[in-house]
Amino acid sequence: MKIPSLLVAGLLWVAMSVSVLAHEFKLGDLLIDHPWARASIGKAPNGAAYMTIVTQGNETDRLLAVESDVAKHAALHTHLMEDGVMKMRPVEAIEVASGEPTLLKPGGLHVMLMGLKAPLVEGESFPLTLVFERAGRIEVEVTIENATKTHAPDEMEHDHSS
């Protein structure tokens, strides 16, 4: 049976698209899934990075710090409601509990990139080092996506129980 070349080309495109979107990094029992950041709008001085972190072991770990050369300072932050106003605040650490994904996402926990050295450009990427209490350090590659993106494409689709 002969397969039409258009069908083959389409299947290859889908396979390449999925592999680009589903990038993961592993450190010991930790899985860091799809680190991403929104593209900068105009000359925005700050940015943020997001990801899903899962421990596949039985012990809780904690994300203690982040480092990146794309900004003067990188820190762990969260959003919270105070007196009816949504505010961002730094957090000392982010717990990664066994058995449940830890979501760093817009409107919640995130990596704050303060004093961007250059705009974050859609389609590009940058390195980000994550420092965990138990697992240690890992460098991940953060993909820069559309400025209007609200969540990672695979945030709700992966089963990390394996």
Q: What is the predicted pLDDT for the residue at 76?
A: 98
In a domain, 58, yes or no: yes
Q: What is the predicted pLDDT for the residue at 96?
A: 97
pLDDT of 128 > 50? The answer is: yes
pLDDT of 161 > 80? The answer is: no
The residue-averaged pLDDT of 12-28 equals 62
| CATH number of the domain to which 106 belongs | 2.60.40.1890
Q: Which domain holds residue 29?
A: 24-145
How many independent structural domains does the chain possess? 1
Confidence of residue 160 (pLDDT cuts 50, 70, 90): very low
What does DSSP say about strands 125-132 and 61-67: parallel, antiparallel, or unpaired? antiparallel
> What pLDDT digit, counting tens, does each position of 71-101 carry?
999 999 998 888 888 888 999 999 999 989 9
In a domain, 53, yes or no: yes
In a domain, 157, yes or no: no
The residue-averaged pLDDT of 41-70 equals 96
Nearest to 155 by CA among 53, 87, 55: 53
In a domain, 150, yes or no: no
Cα separation, 142 vs 37, in Å, equals 7
In a domain, 10, yes or no: no
∠ CA 10-13-19, rounded to 5°: 145
Cα-trace Rg, the chain: 17
Cα separation, 28 vs 136, in Å, equals 9
In a domain, 60, yes or no: yes
In a domain, 64, yes or no: yes
Q: Is the pTM of this model over 0.85?
A: no
Cα separation, 29 vs 22, in Å, equals 18
Q: What is the predicted pLDDT for the residue at 83?
A: 87
Percent of the chain, pLDDT > 90? 68
In a domain, 65, yes or no: yes
Q: What is the predicted pLDDT for the residue at 2?
A: 54
Cβ atoms of 128 and 143 closer than 8 Å: no
